Amino acid sequence: MLKKKNLLLLSLLPVLANAQVTTVQQAAQEAVLTNPEVQIKWHAFQAANGERDVASGGYLPKVDVQAGSSYEMHNEPLLRNNYNSHSQSITLTQMLYDGFATKNEVARLDHNRLVKLYDLYDATETTTLEVVRAHLDVLRYRKLVGLAEDNYVQHRALYEQLQSKAKAGVGRRVDLEQSSARLAVAEANLLTETSNLHDVSARYQRLVGQPPGPMLAETRGLDKEIPPELSAAISTSNSNNPALLAAIENIRAANSEASGRKSAFQPRVDVRLSGQHGTNINSEIGETNDKSAQIVLSWNIFNGFSDRAKLHQLADQINVTRDYRDKVCRDTRQNLEIAYNDRHKITELLTYLDQHQLSIEKARDAYRQQFNIGQRTLLDLLDTENELFQAKRSYIEAQYDQQIAFARMQAGMGNLFRTLGLTRPDAGPLPKFDGDDETQAAHCPIEAPQTYVTNKEELNQRAIALLKDSAPAAAATVSERDKTAVSPAPTAAAEVSTVPAQKAIEGMISVWRKSWEGKNITAYLNCYSSTFKASMDKDHDKWKERRNARISEKKSISVKISNIEFTFKDANHAVTQFHQEYVSDIYSDLVEKTMEWENINGRWLIVSEIPEAR
Residue 569 lies inside a defined structural domain of this protein: yes
Nearest of 22, 217, 27, 134 to residue 404 by alpha carbon: 134
CA 299 to chain CA centroid, nearest Å? 60
- pLDDT category at 467 given cuts 50, 70, 90 is confident
Q: For residue 405, what are the contacts with CB-CB under 8 A and spacing of at least 6?
A: 339, 342, 343, 346
Alpha carbon distance 221, 527 (integer Å): 40
- How far, in Å, CA of 344 to CA of 348, rounded? 6
- pLDDT at residue 452 tops 60: yes
- Mean pLDDT, all residues of the chain: 84
Range with the poorest average pLDDT among 167-181, 323-337, 417-431, 559-573: 417-431
Q: Which residues contact 586 (CB under 8 A, 6 or more apart)?
A: 351, 354, 355, 554
Q: Is the pLDDT of residue 554 over 70?
A: yes
Of all residues in the chain, what percent carry a pLDDT higher than 70? 85
Backbone dihedral angles phi then psi of residue 178, each to the nearest 5 degrees: -65, -40
Of residues 270 and 479, more confidently modeled? 270
In 477-520, which residue ranges form alpha helices assigned H by DSSP? 480-484, 492-517
Q: Does 120 have pLDDT greater than 60?
A: yes
Of the candidate ranges 89-93, 317-321, 337-341, 489-493, the one whose mean pLDDT is the lowest: 489-493
Torsion of CA 313, 315, 320, 326, to 10 degrees: 180
Which pLDDT band, with edges at 50, 70 and 90, does 485 fall under? very low
Assess if residue 26 is contained within a domain.
Answer: no
Helix (H, G, I), strand (E, B) or coil at 186: helix
Residue 503 lies in a domain: yes
300 within a domain of the structure (yes/no): no
Q: Quote the pLDDT of residue 165.
A: 82
First-to-final CA distance of the chain = 54
The reported pLDDT for the residue numbered 372 is 82
Looking at the predicted structure, is the pLDDT value of residue 101 above 80?
A: yes
Which pLDDT score, from 0 to 100, does residue 466 have? 79
295 falls in which pLDDT band (50, 70, 90)? very high
- Cα separation of 367 and 577, whole Å? 17
Least confident range of 14-23, 220-229, 496-505, 561-570: 14-23
Read off the pLDDT of each residue in 21-48 and give the average, rounded to a whole number: 92
* Percent helix / strand / coil, the chain, rounded to 5: 60, 20, 20
Nearest-angstrom CA–CA distance, 183 and 151:
9
pLDDT band per the 50, 70, 90 thresholds, residue 114: very high
Give the rounded distance of the alpha carbon of 287 from its chain centre: 81
Picking from 272, 268, 269, the residue whose alpha carbon sits closest to that of residue 293 is: 272
**Do β-strands 603-613 and 588-600 pair in parallel, antiparallel, or remain unpaired?**
antiparallel
> Judging by beta carbons within 10 Å of its beta carbon (0-12, 13-18, 19+), is residue 211 exposed, middle or buried?
exposed
Left (φ > 0), alpha (ψ -120 to 50) or beta: where does 414 sit? left
* Beta-sheet strand order (sheet of 80-97): 62-75, 80-97, 268-281, 284-298
Q: Is residue 183 part of a domain?
A: no
Of 2-16, 324-338, 414-428, 588-602, give the lowest mean pLDDT range: 2-16
Q: Please give the DSSP secondary-structure letter assigned to residue 20.
A: P
**Sheet containing 603-613: order of strands:** 557-570, 573-584, 588-600, 603-613
- 605 lies in some domain: yes
C-alpha neighbours within 13 Å on the C-beta side of residue 598: 11
Q: Which helix (H) or strand (E) holds 12?
A: helix 2-18
Q: What is the pLDDT of residue 410?
A: 93
Q: Of 336, 343, 381, 318, give the one whose Cα is nearest residue 108.
A: 318
Supply the pLDDT for residue 470.
62
Distance, in Å, from the CA atom of 299 to the CA atom of 264, rounded to the nearest integer, reads 8
DSSP symbols for 372-408 = HTTSS-HHHHHHHHHHHHHHHHHHHHHHHHHHHHHHH
Taking residues 39-46, what's their average pLDDT? 92
The confidence band for 162, taking pLDDT boundaries of 50, 70 and 90, is: confident
Confidence (pLDDT) at 489: 39
Q: Who has greater pLDDT, 288 or 218? A: 218
How far apart, in whole angstroms, are the C-alpha atoms of residue 368 and residue 371?
Answer: 5
561, 611 contact by CB (below 8 A): no
Average pLDDT over residues 537-552: 79
Quick check: 378 pLDDT over 60? Answer: yes
Residue 557 covered by a domain = yes
Residue 548's nearest CA partner among 137, 540, 63 is: 540
CB atoms within 10 A of CB 170: 8
Sequence letter at residue 255: N
534, part of any domain: yes
Structural domain tally of the chain?
Answer: 1
CATH of the domain at 586: 3.10.450.50
Task: Quote the CA–CA distance of 388 and 362 in Å, as a whole number.
Answer: 10
Range of the domain at 552: 492-613
**Residue 542 Cα distances to 114, 337, 354, 402, 535, angstroms:** 60, 45, 21, 30, 12
| Amino acid 450: pLDDT | 67
Q: Left (φ > 0), alpha (ψ -120 to 50) or beta: where does 298 sit?
A: beta
Residue 433 has pLDDT above 70, yes or no: no
- Give residue 73's pLDDT band: very low, low, confident or very high (50, 70, 90): confident
d(CA 405, CA 347): 10
Phi and psi dihedrals of 236, rounded to 5? -65, -40
The H-or-E segment that residue 81 falls in is: strand 80-97
* pTM of structure: 0.69
Per-residue model confidence (pLDDT) at position 203: 95
Confidence band of 7 (pLDDT split at 50, 70, 90): very low
Residue type, position 185, single letter: V
Q: pLDDT for 209-255, tens place per residue?
A: 999 999 999 998 898 889 888 888 988 888 889 999 999 999 999 99
pLDDT value at residue 443: 67
